[in-house]
């Protein structure tokens, strides 16, 4: 039967595509597509070739293990080929039955015959390596390469602390090839990428970040410079073997793993012997549950027939043994593109940059966006619009962008910058010193913060509006009955009763509570405005100090700083809040609605003795620590600066004062000792 032209063309296209991605993945350690996507293309080609065996060619990616030997490494011909593993396509735990059924069929087992014994292992997501020990000494380490010929990476592998250079214990075979996976733990990976980002930020040209731990591990092992390989933290687990000459006779796979462990080779604690399909299913489920807690990535589990005699009987097909299968878990990482970076405003005014993604199925759900947390984080990861990114969703954790695929960045993509105004209401967005987040300062006006603002305003310790709870606020805001605080005082009976689940009686009660709340105090009202850092006690301090709301609204930073217990952060926050015209407008409207309180005259405050003065501390004082002196000065209103300039009013110098004292003398700044400092604080020095 002839093969339709379209199938022939598709198969050709798939072969080329897969060759390309193999090269990126196995040779360059820099994949451009997610594994799940690669697997899909791979299966499509497999299906076409099964349907039309005439399409099969020996160089098809389906017929050989993917790797190629990198120039610069010596070649190693494997005495026993390093194969791949067939992947079970049914991703459900019950998929283990397919493998068991296949094995039983091929072994000619009938229903009622005893179950086959298997070994179940984790499928580590790293790089296969073959370690050759001769008389117990590591003599060569090789990558899998194309399965027949790999790369000699002995120098690099010697730097992996977990790999013994010498085996110990009894009966070590004179020749022993240990096969296993070199991998990178997740925390080591995050740390490595962090360092890479720092290097790149400092202008290093030939550095890059890695897409995932697997590629980082592969890149480290296949690094031509062992000094660089040494800096990459790698780990290792053994799961098999190649050539063995001499030594004890083994009957099962599990026995060999135990022997390897005895000789000092790391073998995972999670290797188990399983009797039949049910045990395999239970293993798949248990590992699936624990997966997120493991310190390294696995992409599934592997089942192997335990008996070596049965393994031999089952044999191989082209690139895979018939006695083993990989049973994968849903991918936790996928690649996708960033369509835009939006800034989301939370109910308390916090601005969060969010990457809007081309929808992608990862970790069992379709993900359309991933938080970038804050400005520093977005900059650190350097995510830009149009970028191809790796998105990770593990367990119930919210999806996050792990890394950017640097090769796929468009020309001219701009780094992300945080807007300086709130994208919802246009008020200034500010980031306080020492904080990671920007916040909208339009608390009373911003629709993103509406519900929060109303609830805060209504609470018992603020305006005390009884009956105005969370459910009702949600309902009124969602129905657009209330947009800003003054709307509360414009509610009528009709409007309220029209709300669902609102009886006439409760509506009347609410109106009465609102009416009553109009008569309040300045501290309650101030607190109710929800100004950041203004709690009840600060509201009281402000009210007492200024007496009148207008005085607070018009106060400059200097004046605010004169209030006892008000420091720069609070002053800045109060100032910024009342600078927003929208906030002032809302306050005017509230007053126009009849909200009132008794104002008073400002409390005459003894001015702080050192207001407006700048002091520099240097050297060691006889009895005060630097922090104590600083605290005392600040409490007296002084600013404590780090360096001496013409603006410095005093330098307080202790023992071993250095260049700051010289500078003070040079500029003619007054110099005090501890005694002088105490007099200054007491107000007896001018």
Ligand X SMILES: NC(=O)c1ccc[n+]([C@@H]2O[C@H](COP(=O)([O-])OP(=O)(O)OC[C@H]3O[C@@H](n4cnc5c(N)ncnc54)[C@H](O)[C@@H]3O)[C@@H](O)[C@H]2O)c1
By CB under 5 A, name the binding residues for Zn ion.
Answer: 422, 424-425, 427, 440, 442, 446
77-136 positions binding ligand X, by CB under 6 A: 84-85, 87, 121, 123-124, 128
Q: Which does 440 bind (CB under 5 to 8 A by kind): ligand X, Zn ion, none?
A: Zn ion
The least distance separating ligand X from the CB of residue 137, rounded to whole angstroms, comes to 24
Q: Which is nearer to ligand X, 65 or 531 (CB)?
A: 65
Confirm or deny that 403 is annotated as ligand binding. no
Nearer to Zn ion, 229 or 446 (CB): 446
Nearer to Zn ion, 518 or 584 (CB): 584
Residue whose C-alpha is closest to residue 303's, from 572, 118, 555, 65: 118
177 is known to lie in a ligand binding site: no
47 phi/psi in degrees, rounded to 5: -65, -45
Tell how far CA 571 is from the center of its chain: 34
- Which residue, 122 or 424, is less far from ligand X as judged by CB? 122
Q: Which lies closer to Zn ion via its Cβ, residue 208 or residue 575?
A: 575
Tell me the torsion sign for CA atoms 110, 112, 118, 122. positive
Count residues near ligand X (CB under 6 A): 25
Where does this chain touch ligand X (CB under 6 A) — which range of 18-26, 148-156, 198-206, 288-296?
A: 18-26
The verdict on whether residue 422 carries a ligand-binding annotation is yes
User: Which member of 11, 14, 30, 33 binds ligand X (CB under 6 A)?
Assistant: 33
Residue of 40, 123, 208, 548 marked catalytic: 123
CA pair distance 439, 436, nearest whole angstrom: 10
State in angstroms the smallest separation of the CB of 445 from Zn ion: 7
Question: What is d(CA 255, CA 269) in angstroms, rounded to the nearest whole number?
Answer: 14
- With CB under 5 to 8 Å by kind, the binding choice for 157 among ligand X, Zn ion, none is none
Residue 84 touches which member of Zn ion, ligand X, none, C-beta under 5-8 Å by kind: ligand X
* C-beta closer to ligand X: residue 373 or 409: 409
CB 651 within 8 A of CB 667: no
User: Residue 593, annotated ligand binder?
Assistant: no
CA distance 12 to 60: 9
Residue 21 interaction partner, one of ligand X, Zn ion, none, beta carbon < 5-8 Å per kind: ligand X
Residue that is written with structure tokens 């994208």 in the block: 423
* Tokens coding 108: 């000619």
Q: How many CA atoms lie within 13 A of 198 on its CB side?
A: 6
Rounded CA-CA distance 453/484 in Å is 9
Q: Is 371 in the site for ligand X (CB under 6 A)?
A: no
* Residue 441 partner contact from ligand X, Zn ion, none using kind-dependent CB cut-offs of 5 to 8 Å: none
DSSP state letters, 372-441: --SHHHHHHHT--TT-EEEEE--TTSPPEEEEE-GGGPPTTPPPP---SB-TTT--BEEE-TT-S-EEES
Shorter beta-carbon distance to ligand X: residue 25 or 323: 25
Residue 6, marked binder = no
In angstroms, rounded to a whole number, what is the distance separating the alpha carbons of residues 373 and 523?
A: 34
Q: Confirm or deny that 39 is annotated as ligand binding.
A: yes
31 binds ligand X, rule: CB under 6 A: yes
Q: Closest distance between Zn ion and the C-beta of residue 440, in Å? A: 3
Residues 317-336 that bind ligand X (CB under 6 A): 326
- The reply on whether position 25 binds ligand X by CB under 6 A is yes
Work out whether 405 is an interface residue with ligand X (CB under 6 A): no
Q: Is 123 a catalytic residue?
A: yes
C-alpha to C-alpha distance for 358 and 477, rounded to whole angstroms: 32
According to the binding rule CB under 6 A, does residue 30 interact with ligand X? no
Q: Which does 85 bind (CB under 5 to 8 A by kind): ligand X, Zn ion, none?
A: ligand X
Backbone dihedral region of 300: left (phi > 0), alpha (psi from -120 to 50 degrees) or beta? Answer: left
CB of 407 to ligand X, least distance (A): 12
Report 588-627 residues binding ligand X (CB under 6 A).
none
> What, of ligand X, Zn ion, none, does residue 422 touch, CB below 5 to 8 Å by kind?
Zn ion
200 secondary structure, DSSP code = H
Query: Under 8 Å CB-to-CB from 192, ≥6 apart: which residues?
Result: 184, 210, 216, 232, 233
Give the HSE-up count for residue 514: Cα atoms under 13 Å, Cβ half-sphere. Answer: 22
> Which residues, 6 or more positions from 590, have their beta carbon under 8 angstroms from its beta carbon?
485, 486, 489
Non-local CB neighbours of 429 within 8 Å, separated by 6+ positions? 351, 418, 419, 420, 421, 422, 438, 439, 440, 441
Q: What is the three-class DSSP state of 656?
A: coil
| Site residues (CB under 6 A) for ligand X, limited to 154-213 | 181
CB of 422 to Zn ion, least distance (A): 3
Annotated ligand binding at 446? The verdict is: yes
Report the partner that residue 446 touches, choosing among Zn ion, ligand X, none (CB closer than 5 to 8 A by kind): Zn ion
Closest CA to 212 of 124, 333, 328, 378: 333
Q: Is 440 annotated as a binding residue?
A: no
Strand bridging mode 127-134 / 175-183:
antiparallel
Q: Which residue, 234 or 644, is less far from ligand X as judged by CB?
A: 234
> Using CB under 6 A, which of 55, 66, 120, 351 touches ligand X?
66
22 touches ligand X by CB under 6 A? yes
Among 45, 48, 55, 65, binds ligand X (CB under 6 A): 65
Q: Strand, helix or coil at 361?
A: strand
Cα separation, 472 vs 479, in Å, equals 10
- Contacted by 424, from ligand X, Zn ion, none: CB < 5 to 8 Å by type: Zn ion
CA distance 325 to 452: 54
Place of tokens 């006889």: 622
3-class DSSP state of 172: coil
What is the C-alpha separation between 35 and 55, in angstroms, rounded?
24
Residue 35 or residue 541: which is nearer to ligand X going by CB?
35
**Binding site membership: which residues?**
35-39, 84-85, 121, 144, 181, 304, 328, 422, 425, 446
**Binding site membership for NAD(+): which residues?**
35-39, 84-85, 121, 144, 181, 304, 328
Catalytic residue annotation: 123
**Binding site membership for Zn(2+): which residues?**
422, 425, 446
User: Which residues bind to ligand X, rule: CB under 6 A?
Assistant: 21-22, 24-25, 31, 33-35, 38-39, 65-66, 84-85, 87, 121, 123-124, 128, 144, 181, 239-240, 302, 326
């Amino acid at each position: 039967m002839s093969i339709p032209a379209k199938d022939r063309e598709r198969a050709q296209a798939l072969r080329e595509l897969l060759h390309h991605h193999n090269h990126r993945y196995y040779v360059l350690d820099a994949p451009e597509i997610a594994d799940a996507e690669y697997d899909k293309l791979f299966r499509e080609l497999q299906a076409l070739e099964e349907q039309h065996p005439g399409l099969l060619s020996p160089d098809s990616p389906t017929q050989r293990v993917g790797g190629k030997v990198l120039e610069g490494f010596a070649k190693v011909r494997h005495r026993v080929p390093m194969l791949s593993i067939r992947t079970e396509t049914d991703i459900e735990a019950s998929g283990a039955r397919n493998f068991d059924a296949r094995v039983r069929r091929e072994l000619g087992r009938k229903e009622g015959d005893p179950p086959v014994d298997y070994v179940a292992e984790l499928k580590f997501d790293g790089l296969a390596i073959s370690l050759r020990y001769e008389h117990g000494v590591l003599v060569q380490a090789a990558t899998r390469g194309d399965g027949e010929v790999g790369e000699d990476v002995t120098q690099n592998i010697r730097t992996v602390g977990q790999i013994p250079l010498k085996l110990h214990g009894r009966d070590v075979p004179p020749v022993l090839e240990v096969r296993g996976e070199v991998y990178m733990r997740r925390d080591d990976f995050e740390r490595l990428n962090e360092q890479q980002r720092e290097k790149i930020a400092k202008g290093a040209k030939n550095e890059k970040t890695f897409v995932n731990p697997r590629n980082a591990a592969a890149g480290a092992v296949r690094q031509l410079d062992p000094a660089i390989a040494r800096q990459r933290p790698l780990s290792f687990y053994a799961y098999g073997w190649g050539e063995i000459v001499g030594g004890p006779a083994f009957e099962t796979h599990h026995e060999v793993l135990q022997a390897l462990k005895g000789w000092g080779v790391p073998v995972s604690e999670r290797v188990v012997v399983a009797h039949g399909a049910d045990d395999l299913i239970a293993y798949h489920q248990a590992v699936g549950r624990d997966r997120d807690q493991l310190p390294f990535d696995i992409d599934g589990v592997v089942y192997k027939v335990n008996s070596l005699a049965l393994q031999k009987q089952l044999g191989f097909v082209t690139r895979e043994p018939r006695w083993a299968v990989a049973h994968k878990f849903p991918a936790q990482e996928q690649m996708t593109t960033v369509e835009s970076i939006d800034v989301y405003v939370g109910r308390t005014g916090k601005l969060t940059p969010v990457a809007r993604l081309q929808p992608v199925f990862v970790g069992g759900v379709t993900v359309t966006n991933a938080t970038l947390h804050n400005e520093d984080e977005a900059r650190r990861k350097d995510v830009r619009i149009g970028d191809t990114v790796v998105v990770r969703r593990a367990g119930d954790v919210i999806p996050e962008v792990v890394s950017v695929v640097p090769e796929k960045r468009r020309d001219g993509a701009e780094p992300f910058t945080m807007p300086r105004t709130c994208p919802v209401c246009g008020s200034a967005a500010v980031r306080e010193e020492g904080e990671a987040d920007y916040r909208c300062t339009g608390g009373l006006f911003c629709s993103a913060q509406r519900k929060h603002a109303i609830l805060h305003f209504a609470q018992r310790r603020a305006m005390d509006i009884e009956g105005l709870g969370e459910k009702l606020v949600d309902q009124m805001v969602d129905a657009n009955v209330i947009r800003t605080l003054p709307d509360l005082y414009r509610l009528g009976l009709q409007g309220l009763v029209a709300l669902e689940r609102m009886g006439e009686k409760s509506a009347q009660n609410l109106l009465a509570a609102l009416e009553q709340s109009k008569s309040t105090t300045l501290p309650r009202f101030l607190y109710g405005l929800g100004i950041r850092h203004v709690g009840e006690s600060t509201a009281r301090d402000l009210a007492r100090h200024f007496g009148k709301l207008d005085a607070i609204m018009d106060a400059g930073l200097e004046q605010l700083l004169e209030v006892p217990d008000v420091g720069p952060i609070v002053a800045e926050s109060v100032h910024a809040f009342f600078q927003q015209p929208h906030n002032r407008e809302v306050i005017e409207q509230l007053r126009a609605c009849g909200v009132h309180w008794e104002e008073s005259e400002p409390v005459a405050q003894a001015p702080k003795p050192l207001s407006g003065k700048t002091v520099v501390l240097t050297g060691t004082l006889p009895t005060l620590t630097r922090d104590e002196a600083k605290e005392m000065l600040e409490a007296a209103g002084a600013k404590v600066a780090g360096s001496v300039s013409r603006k410095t009013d005093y330098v307080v110098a202790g023992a071993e004062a250095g260049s700051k004292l010289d500078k003070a003398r040079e500029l003619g700044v007054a110099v005090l000792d501890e005694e002088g400092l105490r007099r200054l604080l007491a107000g007896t020095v001018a």
